């Protein structure tokens, strides 16, 4: 399994540490060594391998050291999730807002899905075991970043529901869809399969903005999403597998490609926009 961690994960992780997390005299270096060992153990053997005894052995420390630094197993798991997600959060923090907050939300969805598919064990640890009153610090920060994107959409008059309702809808759809993909065989985990869900959710949350000549149309977006779904992958053609002929499959993909090109710009065919 791939671990998409930034080289500065250890330093950035400290932003998630509470003041009392430094109790007991444990050094940052010791803490980061334990977390690095836990993340590697997680990737190699899955969440079930993250017992305090196994993590202590992997990090070369005594089990009481873990309890001194992280209080209990839940504290350790939360710290591992935040530590492992630091690379993902670094990318989200570095997002340069565009003029279109809806496009920013699409990009945020893609980054989220790509990270989840690249780090299945870490993602499952983060989002597959949430309980009321227990939310890893990294998940809280990710929600804050999402809320900021939605606030921008609200300011521009694009959001048709309250911000908090939109936060829940997007979190539920992204995390639920990624967890569903992770339950599939690895060769069947394709991000394009859930991209139409992204468009459906955003369409439901956002008011239709006035089209601009340089905007992509919804027709182009849908055609592109459908084209991604029906494109052969791993020597399998989803169209011919459904009973269509090779000719019919090729014709369908040609039509979708032409729709995508014809409607890339809302105003491209409007003489007034030339």
Average pLDDT over residues 258-273: 58
Domain boundary among 57, 87, 117: 87
239 pLDDT band (50/70/90 cuts)? Answer: confident
In a domain, 197, yes or no: no
Whole-number percent of the chain with pLDDT over 90 = 32
In a domain, 196, yes or no: no
Say if CB 86 and CB 7 are below 8 A apart. Answer: no
In a domain, 270, yes or no: yes
Residues 6+ apart with CB under 8 A from 238: 229, 230, 232
What residues make up the domain containing 70? Answer: 9-87
Instruction: List, for residues 178-228, the tens digit of each pLDDT value.
Output: 999 999 998 889 998 899 999 999 999 998 655 544 455 677 777 777 778
Q: What pLDDT, on a 0 to 100 scale, did the predictor assign at position 135?
A: 74
Instruction: List, for residues 80-96, the tens digit of each pLDDT value.
Output: 888 878 878 888 888 88
Q: How many domains would you assign to the chain?
A: 2
Q: What pLDDT, on a 0 to 100 scale, did the predictor assign at position 22?
A: 43
Domain boundary among 60, 87, 114: 87
Q: What pLDDT, on a 0 to 100 scale, did the predictor assign at position 1?
A: 41
In a domain, 268, yes or no: yes
Q: What is the chain's mean pLDDT, rounded? A: 80
In a domain, 176, yes or no: no
> Is 14's pLDDT higher than 70?
no
E strand or H helix at 99, and its extent? Answer: none
* Tokens 């809806």, located at residue: 102
Q: What pLDDT, on a 0 to 100 scale, did the predictor assign at position 216?
A: 55
> Is 10's pLDDT higher than 60?
no
Average pLDDT over residues 231-252: 80
Bridge partner list, 131: 134
Q: Give residue 217's Cα distance to chain centre.
A: 25
Instruction: List, for residues 29-80, the tens digit of each pLDDT value.
Output: 888 889 989 988 988 888 888 889 999 999 999 999 999 999 888 888 888 8
> What is the C-alpha to C-alpha distance for residues 23 and 18, in angstroms, rounded to an integer?
10
264 pLDDT band (50/70/90 cuts)? Answer: low
Nearest-10 Cα torsion for 142, 143, 148, 154: 150
* Of 248 and 65, the one with more pLDDT: 65
In a domain, 1, yes or no: no
> What is the C-alpha to C-alpha distance for residues 110 and 192, in angstroms, rounded to an integer?
10
Bridge partner list, 206: 159
DSSP state of 72: S
Domain boundary among 32, 53, 87: 87
E strand or H helix at 48, and its extent? Answer: none
In a domain, 56, yes or no: yes
> Is 18's pLDDT higher than 60?
no
Q: What pLDDT, on a 0 to 100 scale, did the predictor assign at position 103?
A: 92
Q: Encoding tokens for residue 115?
A: 């990270």
> Is 25's pLDDT higher than 50?
no
Q: What pLDDT, on a 0 to 100 scale, did the predictor assign at position 263?
A: 65
In a domain, 14, yes or no: yes
Q: Which CATH number do you get for residue 43?
A: 1.10.10.60
* Of 161 and 266, the one with more pLDDT: 161
């Amino acid at each position: 399994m791939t671990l998409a961690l930034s080289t500065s994960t250890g330093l950035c992780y400290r932003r998630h540490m509470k003041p009392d997390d430094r109790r007991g005299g444990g050094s940052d270096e010791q803490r980061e060594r334990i977390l690095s060992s836990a993340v590697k153990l997680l990737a190699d053997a899955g969440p079930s391998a993250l017992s305090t005894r196994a993590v202590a052995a992997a990090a070369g420390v005594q089990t009481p050291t873990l309890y001194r630094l992280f209080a209990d197993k839940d504290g350790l798991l939360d710290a591992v999730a935040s530590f492992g997600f630091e690379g993902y959060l670094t990318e989200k923090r570095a997002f340069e807002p565009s003029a279109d907050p809806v496009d920013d939300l699409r990009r945020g969805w893609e980054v989220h899905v790509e990270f989840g598919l690249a780090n299945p064990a870490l993602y499952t640890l983060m989002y597959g075991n949430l309980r009321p009153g227990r939310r890893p610090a990294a998940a809280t920060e990710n929600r804050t970043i999402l809320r900021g994107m939605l606030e921008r959409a609200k300011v521009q008059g694009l959001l048709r529901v309250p911000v908090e309702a939109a936060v829940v809808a997007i979190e539920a759809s992204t995390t639920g869809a990624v967890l569903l993909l992770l339950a599939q065989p690895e060769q069947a985990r394709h991000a394009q399969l859930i991209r139409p869900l992204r468009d459906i959710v955003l369409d439901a949350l956002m008011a239709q903005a006035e089209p601009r000549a340089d905007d992509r149309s919804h027709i182009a977006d849908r055609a592109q999403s459908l084209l991604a779904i029906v494109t052969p992958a791993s020597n399998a053609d989803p169209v011919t597998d459904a009973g269509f002929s090779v000719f019919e499959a090729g014709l369908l993909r040609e039509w979708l490609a032409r729709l995508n090109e014809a409607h890339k710009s809302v105003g491209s065919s409007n003489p007034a926009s030339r």
